[in-house]
Amino acid sequence: MRLLLALGNPGAKYRDTRHNIGWWLADRLAHRWGGGPFRVDGPTAWTTGTARPGVEIHKPLAYMNRSGESLARLLAERRFDARGFDPAADMLVLVDDVALPAGRFRLRARGSPGGHNGLASISASLGSDEYGRLRLGVGRPPDERIDLVAWVLSRMPRAEEEGALGAFPRAAEAVEYWLEHGVEAAMNRFNRLG
């Protein structure tokens, strides 16, 4: 079983914000793979796609900084642990990243949370930074006086949003390559282009 964990915040207030770009890509992947609507089951909303059996896409329903709590419950309540689930090989986190401009993405096999509260929560839950992540660019505030929290909880201007969405076909290919070949191979193939 493979797990795509898309980080974001629940609720209409946050749906279109930079922080939820992981959820946007999750929606795109579900559609691309012929998945049904996301259904709420315990700590997440999730779906699968007929084109990718054995892959589940999950959106934690806790707020971003508590994503790890949702993951811990998911792993305890579902079949991931029973089948030898290894987060380092079997999980990819879809997450926003202010260090990348909108329209760019990067795969990483491991690493510190880098100040991202969602990743910090995931790492705390797993007791490890050994899990893949697909970092989706949302850009930095144009002025250092702009509060970073306010920035990621705001909407992108139309041109930025179009740039971010324009990268999704290539990001989807990167996820599919990860599924087939693993994170290191996907990094080598896509990071220079993403």
Rounded CA gap, 163 and 24, in Å? 13
Coil, helix or strand at residue 89 = helix
Task: Based on the residue annotation, tell me whether 19 is a catalytic residue of this protein.
Answer: yes
Kindly write down the DSSP assignment for every residue of 22-62, as one continuous string: HHHHHHHHHHHTTB---EEETTEEEEEETTEEEEEEEEE-S
Residue in 19, 31, 58, 116 annotated catalytic: 19
The DSSP bridge pattern shows strands 105-108 and 39-41 to be unpaired
Instruction: Cite the active site residues.
Output: 19
